[in-house]
Structure 1
Amino acid sequence: MSTGNYQEINSTIFSNLQNKAIDMGLQQTYLPESHQLEFSENNEWLLKVSLPWSMEFSRTKGLLKREDYHLALVMIRAGIACMGYFHNGEMVNHKVFRAYMVRQKQGKSQIKYLKTKGKSRAGSRIRLGESEQFFEDINERLLNYSDQYPITHWGISCSKTLWPYFFGANPPPPFGKKQENLMSIPFHVQHPDFETLQEIHRKLNSFQLLISDLGRRKFDTIEGQTPPKKQDQDLEDW
């Protein structure tokens, strides 16, 4: 059981934790789908460390800096999306898209509303049209990144309920749902804007610790970590 949110730690604390875990006889496992190191005992994990995306993990050499690293991020919420392209840690391009997709009185996205009420009213048809254009605009920008740059990783934050609309748009995104270099952004994204894009990129390139209750007891107080910020809940899980 986890004690809560990810906590940022520096490279020295990470090395100390890793050495202590190995000395304690914990099993270290690399999880490529999430780019994490997991430390477990008797098939129960105690620590999970999200590694910087700008570094690759080698079982023989440890962490190595990626050379010529191309990263594209996309974060999608109701009526707003933000994406950016980064090369070796520097932001080269970013874009925010907005759409009239939320019904003012109910606060529901148009896609969720259409599941129960249909699209007979003029306002609903307008919102549906903007919803379709919204995903088309997102994918056109992502295709532009794919055409111009040799993307190493795609990072995405998007509710699974939106995936049929995102991947079913015309044009579709330049990656498949199970593409090897498509990675889920492990951090909560409340409002995808330029500032959030910068913060998420920074966190993806740092060490982030998740510790279980048992791990907390075994490792006592961990010094040198950044206390986690309280995360707001999504206004709407769509």
Structure 2
Amino acid sequence: MPQNNLNLFHVPLEELFDTVKSKFPQYVYDFKKHVVLLNNDLHETEAFIRLPLHMSLEDDLTVKTAEAKVLYVSIESGHAAICVMEGTHNVYHTTFSAYMTRKKQGFSQIKYLKKKGKSRAGSRVRLASTMEFFENINTTLTELLETYRVDRIGINCNATLVPFLHQSKVACPFEKKDQRLYKIPLHIPQSNYTHLHATIKKLMAPVLFYDDENQTRIKLEMGL
């Protein structure tokens, strides 16, 4: 993983793409990660550009739309935030919370159940709350996907919680391998609207990533 990054918010996207095509003709657009790989003549990746998720592209970097609809979902134990963006405009957001954490120990009921079972009353209450938590999330996601024609789904969810999202009594409206899925590449400190929206704002600008060994060449070729 490249150690250095440079925000390219000041560079017009058309100009940026023209430079990529001219200086790195072996480039590859990776739809899943929504990045442009800057490859040399040996097809070795020397750097990559993380692109704004509201920009929908063809493989040849032709912009299909700058107003893509993106559903963002951030889930952690006991907290979740959902947001729908049309381009750079927030058109919907909501949050969820549930009693899922054992107060003294501070870890989630899900992890506790794997160790101790669910015989105690408190455990059963937290488990019921957990089930309702994911049912409410999936109900909202279903309604949103019926309301908006979403181009991408940006998700931040701990691997421990993913099975609960997809095994809820209320079915998750997208599959684990849905082609629209995009793993949010930034750490979200807490799954609330404030932190999710701050993350979305960071993802609105293209960012160049590169290693020290390629720094001089990359910056020279990119005109930076």
2:122 is aligned to 123
1:229 is aligned to none
For residues 14-48 of structure 1, give each alpha carbon's deviation from its aligned partner in whole angstroms, at most 9, with x where no partner exists: 7469737853x573111111111011344542211
1:12 is aligned to 11
1:138 is aligned to 137
What is the Cα deviation at residue 131 of structure 1? 0.8
2:182 is aligned to 183
1:236 is aligned to none
1:161 is aligned to 160
2:81 is aligned to 82
Name whichever of 193-202 and 122-131 sits farther off: 193-202
SS at match of 1:161: coil
Report the Cα distance in structure 2 between the residues aligned to 1:169 and 1:214, rounded to whole angstroms. Answer: 47
By relative contact order (CA 8 Å, sep 6+), the higher-ranking structure is 1
Matched-pair contact (CA < 8 Å) for 2:2–2:210:
yes
Report the Cα distance in structure 2 between the residues aligned to 1:203 and 1:222, rounded to whole angstroms. Answer: 25
Letter in structure 2 aligned against 1:190: P
Q: How does 1:5-154 map to 2 (within 5 A)?
A: 7-12=6-11, 15=15, 19=19, 22-23=22-23, 27-41=26-40, 42-60=42-60, 62-64=61-63, 66=65, 69-154=68-153
TM-score normalised to structure 2 length:
0.86
Report the Cα distance in structure 2 between the residues aligned to 1:16 and 1:69, rounded to whole angstroms. Answer: 19
SS at match of 1:2: coil
**In the alignment, does 2:188 pair up with 1:172?**
no
Residues 1:28 and 1:167: Cα distance change in structure 2 (over 3 Å): same
Report the Cα distance in structure 1 between the residues aligned to 2:64 and 2:9, rounded to whole angstroms. Answer: 16
- Unmatched tracts of structure 1, length 5 or more: 226-238
TM-score normalised to structure 1 length:
0.81
Letter in structure 2 aligned against 1:56: S
Name whichever of 119-128 and 49-58 sits farther off: 49-58
Question: What number of residue pairs does the alignment pair up?
Answer: 222
For residues 141-200 of structure 1, give each alpha carbon's deviation from its aligned partner in whole angstroms, at most 9, with x where no partner exists: 101101212122111111222111111112122111111112211111111211122222
Residues 1:205 and 1:99: Cα distance change in structure 2 (over 3 Å): same
What is the Cα deviation at residue 55 of structure 1? 1.6
Letter in structure 1 aligned against 2:105: Q
Name whichever of 168-177 and 212-221 sits farther off: 212-221
Letter in structure 2 aligned against 1:144: E
Query: Which segments of structure 1 move beyond 4 Å, counting only runs of 4 or more?
Result: 13-18, 220-225
What is the Cα deviation at residue 221 of structure 1? 9.0
SS at match of 2:208: strand
Q: Identity of aligned pairs, percent?
A: 31
Residues 1:64 and 1:213: Cα distance change in structure 2 (over 3 Å): same
For residues 83-117 of structure 1, give each alpha carbon's deviation from its aligned partner in whole angstroms, at most 9, with x where no partner exists: 01222322121111011111122221110111111
Name whichever of 8-17 and 42-51 sits farther off: 8-17
SS at match of 1:219: helix
